[in-house]
Amino acid sequence: MLILIATPIGNLGDLSPRAQEALQQCDLLLCEDTRHTGQLLHLAGIKAKEKRSLHKFNEAEREEEVIQLLHAGKAVGLVSDAGTPGIADPGARLVARCHAEGIKVSIIPGPCAFVAAYALSGYTDEAFQFLGFLPKTRNERSKLFDKMREYSGASIVYESPYRIKETLTEVDPQWEVVMVRELTKIHEQVVRASAGELLQQLADKEVKGECVLIFSPSKKEKPSLEELVQQVHHVRESFSCSVKEAIEAVAKARGVSQKDLYRLIIRG
C-alpha cells in the first residue's frame, strides 16, 4: 500500500514513533527532495531502504512505475519536505490514482502548518477554509480576497514572508488577521490584529521565516462614514489618482457600495 507520512515543520521532536517506523520499514520512500529527507533521516538515525524523488515536476511520469510497484505488493512511503504530503505539496495525484486502481492508501498523520496555525488563532468558529498559497499576481490575489469576503468563516493561506507587507496593503485595514510565523521553531510567533495594525507593527521590520496568514473579514467593525471619506482622500493623495478611482478602490477594499460612497464624497 501507499503510506503518506507527515514529517516535522521545524521541530524534529515532532517526528512520531509511527512515522519513524514507517520511514525505516517501507520498501521505497518517495521524497519531494531526496537530499532534504536524507538529512531528516540522518538526524533521526533512520536508514531508509530506498529513496526516489517525487516532486511536482516528475509526479506524472513517476506515477506509472510507482503504481507497478504497488501492484507488485511493495510498501511505498511518501513524504514531502515538511508537514503533510498532499497539502500544498505533491502527492494528491498519486493518491487519486491509487483510489482508481483499488490500491490501499493510508496515512501517518502529524504536523500540518495550517492546522497548527488555526488551532493557535483562538477562533471559535467550527468552519474555516484553507486556500493554499496566495497567488503571486495582484489580480489573482484580489479575486481570492473577494472569495474571502463572501465567506463567513476565517480563510487560511500560506504566504511568502517577503510579500506579507504588500499583501496586507491589499485588504481592508479593518479585517482581522492572524499571522503565525515559524511554528514549532525558536522564533515561533502569533500576532492577532487588524490588517492595518499588523502592517504598522511590521513597517520597519524585515519579515523572515515561514508564515501562515488567517484572514477574518467578518470580524471587522463597520467603518464609519468619516473614516471612509478620510481613506478616499488618503488613497487619492498617495497614488495621485482621481477621486473616482480612489472611491472605486476604497469601496472594493472596504466592501461598501461605490454609489453610496460617491454620493457621500461628492455631496460632502
The binding site for ligand SAM (CB under 6 A) comprises: 9-10, 80, 82-84, 87-89, 112-114, 158, 180-185, 210-212
Q: If DSSP codes are grouped into helix, strand and coil, which group holds residue 84?
A: coil
Angle between helices 258-267 and 225-239 in degrees, nearest 10: 90
Q: Which is nearer to ligand SAM, 106 or 242 (CB)?
A: 106
Q: Is 81 exposed, middle or buried (0-12, 13-18, 19+ CB in 10 A)?
A: middle
Tell the smallest beta-carbon distance from residue 28 to ligand SAM (Å).
20
Tell the smallest beta-carbon distance from residue 87 to ligand SAM (Å).
4
Q: Which is nearer to ligand SAM, 20 or 184 (CB)?
A: 184
Tell the smallest beta-carbon distance from residue 2 to ligand SAM (Å).
17
What residue is closest to ligand SAM based on CB? 83
Distances (CA, A) of 201 to 169, 176, 192, 217: 13, 14, 11, 20
Q: State the Cα angle at 211 between 207 and 214, rounded to 5°.
A: 115
Q: Which is nearer to ligand SAM, 82 or 94 (CB)?
A: 82
Q: Which is nearer to ligand SAM, 46 or 87 (CB)?
A: 87
- Pairing type for strands 76-79 and 28-31 reads parallel
Distances (CA, A) of 104 to 5, 12, 28, 74, 82: 14, 28, 16, 11, 23
Q: Which is nearer to ligand SAM, 9 or 15 (CB)?
A: 9
